[in-house]
Amino acid sequence: MTVFDAIKENLTTRQIIANEGFYISCNGMMKCPFHDDHHPSLNVKERFKCFACGEYGDGINFVAKLYGLSLLNAAKKIADSFNLSYDNNNGIRPTKIVKKVKSDRVVFAEKKRDLLSALSALVSTIALAEREYTPSDSEDATWHPFYIGAMHRKDYVLYLYDYVLFEISTAELEKEMDELTQEVEKLGRKLDAVRGGHKEYA
Ligand SMILES: [Zn+2]
């Protein structure tokens, strides 16, 4: 709640003026502090108005005028003297805080980077399989499942890598991103499985 709202909801003009030490008669008249008033000529109702000098306004206007304060500082002074709580935000209604969201462009760039880095990891894994697990030329050499799995997927992985890196348009990649990411993750899991010597490769 702004300081202005806090005052409006909790205090009358009469309360605010009386709080400044002015005597207000039961018919709402008081001596005007804004001109040299000898007979009460200032009337206090919902607002105050001086019939002699013409000053008028609400309780905040009264205090502002009395002390030469801005309306905001006058309002704060009033609220503080009545111990009213309010949002200390300079009286400006808090604007809805807009959570800063990543732009679609940034999200896309991050996804593309992740996808390429996952593909690049697959390429490295396959290169490792080729380097470390290529069976010997002898006829009874055993083929390691990792090597088989890697070779089985090598062309596909290289194709995907080229595809994402060079061939696909941004608009197409936006559409296919999730599918491609899932595909690459699946390939990664399969290669991990055969690398561990399990039989999950297919
Ligand atoms: Zn006056």
CA 2 to ligand 1 center in whole angstroms: 30
CA atoms within 13 A on the CB side of 44: 24
User: How many domains does the chain contain in total?
Assistant: 2
CA 80 to ligand 1 center in whole angstroms: 26
CA 37 to ligand 1 center in whole angstroms: 7
CA 36 to ligand 1 center in whole angstroms: 7
CA 83 to ligand 1 center in whole angstroms: 29
Cα(81)–Cα(64) distance, rounded to whole angstroms? 14
Residues whose CB is less than 8 angstroms from the CB of residue 159 and which lie 6 or more positions away in sequence, other chains included: none
User: Is residue 45 scored above 90 in pLDDT?
Assistant: yes
Count of CB atoms situated within 10 Å of the CB of 71: 17
SS3 category, 56: strand
Count of CB atoms situated within 10 Å of the CB of 77: 19
Please say whether the beta carbons of 10 and 78 come within 8 A: no
Instruction: Report residue 71's pLDDT band, with 50, 70 and 90 as the boundaries.
Output: very high
Same structural domain for residues 9 and 52? yes
Residue 94: what pLDDT? Answer: 47
Q: Which of 86-100, 102-116, 154-168 has the lowest mean pLDDT?
A: 86-100
Query: Rounded to a whole number, what is the distance in angstroms from the first to the last CA of the chain?
Result: 65
Domain hosting 29: range is 3-81
CA 49 to ligand 1 center in whole angstroms: 8
CATH of the domain at 10: 3.90.580.10
**Does residue 201 lie within any of the structural domains?**
no
Count of CB atoms situated within 10 Å of the CB of 113: 10
Residue 90: what pLDDT? Answer: 57
Same structural domain for residues 127 and 44? no
Instruction: Report residue 33's pLDDT band, with 50, 70 and 90 as the boundaries.
Output: very high
CA 3 to ligand 1 center in whole angstroms: 27
Residue 16: what pLDDT? Answer: 97
User: Is residue 187 scored above 80 in pLDDT?
Assistant: yes
CA 56 to ligand 1 center in whole angstroms: 9
**Does residue 87 lie within any of the structural domains?**
no
**Does residue 88 lie within any of the structural domains?**
no
Strands (E), the chain: 29-30, 42-44, 48-50, 56-57
Same structural domain for residues 68 and 7? yes
For the stretch 104-160, pLDDT in tens is: 888 888 899 999 999 999 999 999 998 888 888 777 778 888 899 999 999 999 999
Residue 121: what pLDDT? Answer: 92
**Does residue 24 lie within any of the structural domains?**
yes
Domain boundary among the residues 12, 47, 81 is at 81
**Does residue 38 lie within any of the structural domains?**
yes
User: Is residue 19 scored above 90 in pLDDT?
Assistant: yes
CA 9 to ligand 1 center in whole angstroms: 27
CA 77 to ligand 1 center in whole angstroms: 22
When pLDDT is averaged across residues 58-87 and rounded to a whole number, the result is: 95
* Token pair in block for residue 131: 């380097």
Give percent above pLDDT 70 in the chain.
Answer: 91
**Does residue 97 lie within any of the structural domains?**
no
Same structural domain for residues 124 and 182? yes
CA 11 to ligand 1 center in whole angstroms: 22
